[in-house]
């Protein structure tokens, strides 16, 4: 179980930790030399405004950072890092955060920016990397190169792109498969029956119960 977006703020982190997931997912954005944990993008310029497609929101002050999340997770659960930007800058910031605050935290890194993951691997060779796949084009591209790319340990894939054959092919290539974002118990059971390795969900306890063996 991976708690979707559970690291994107202090309240979300407390709620996610209470469900005892294997990992807490966090969206990381580089801004002014810091790794900020938040789902939303930030408007360019001085205004402290975050935005998504359908809404605006004030940016928290101070921002919640990766350092804060790592401290909260020490000795408790892993952190699934979803890197959003920062080509050329993220790797060293990530290295410093993990060395300073990552003791006792199992961290892995994921991104749809695959070149960024290559830079991260140089700075943080201990990290397992998961190529994030959101669209059919990304899915087809990865399948065309996966046998020739030794960097990733697995894929973090939109669940609607996955079927039994795709998961088997990834496993045959030595890759773990994370399915996101799965909030339906029937779909979670189907994916589990096909051998998916992890599920990212907004409903950790419900999906855990759906996957539990029948009494």
Q: Is the peptide bond before 130 cis (omega within 30 degrees of 0)?
A: no
Give all strands of the β-sheet with 41-42 in edge-to-edge order.
41-42, 49-52, 55-58
Q: According to the model, what pLDDT value does residue 53 have?
A: 75
In contact, 98 and 39? CB cutoff 8 Å: no
pLDDT at 178: 98
To the nearest 10°, report the CA torsion of 28, 187, 139, 146. 90
Say how far apart CA 146 and CA 151 lie, in whole Å: 9
The pLDDT assigned to 59 comes to 85
Query: What are the tokens at 67?
Result: 């350092």
Q: Any idea what the Cα angle at residue 137 is, between residues 131 and 141, rounded to 5°?
A: 55
Phi, psi dihedral angles at 166 (to 5 degrees)? -65, -45
* Per-residue pLDDT, 86: 87
Each residue's pLDDT tens digit in the chain (215 positions)? 999 999 999 999 999 999 999 999 999 999 989 999 998 878 887 778 878 878 788 888 899 999 999 999 999 999 999 999 988 899 999 999 999 999 999 999 999 999 999 999 999 999 999 999 999 999 999 999 999 999 999 999 999 999 999 999 999 999 999 999 999 999 999 999 999 999 999 999 999 999 998 77
Quote the pTM value. 0.94
């Amino acid at each position: 179980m991976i708690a979707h977006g559970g690291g994107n703020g202090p309240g979300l982190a407390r709620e996610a930790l209470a469900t005892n997931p294997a990992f807490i997912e966090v969206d990381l954005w580089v801004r002014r030399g810091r790794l900020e944990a938040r789902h939303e993008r930030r408007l360019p310029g001085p205004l402290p405004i975050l935005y998504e497609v359908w809404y605006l929101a004030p940016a928290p002050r101070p921002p919640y950072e990766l350092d804060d999340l790592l401290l909260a997770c020490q000795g408790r659960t892993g952190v699934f890092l979803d890197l959003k930007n920062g080509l050329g800058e993220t790797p060293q910031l990530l290295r410093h955060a993990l060395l300073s605050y990552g003791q006792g935290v199992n961290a892995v890194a994921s991104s749809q920016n695959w070149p960024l993951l290559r830079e991260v691997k140089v700075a943080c060779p201990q990290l397992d990397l998961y190529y994030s796949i959101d669209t059919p084009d990304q899915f087809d591209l990865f399948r065309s190169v996966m046998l020739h790319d030794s960097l990733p340990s697995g894929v973090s894939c939109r669940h609607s792109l996955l079927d039994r054959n795709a998961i088997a092919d990834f496993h045959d290539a030595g890759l773990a498969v994370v399915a996101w974002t799965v909030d339906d118990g029937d779909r979670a059971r189907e994916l589990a029956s096909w051998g998916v390795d992890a599920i990212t969900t907004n409903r950790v306890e419900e999906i855990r119960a759906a996957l539990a063996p029948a009494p």
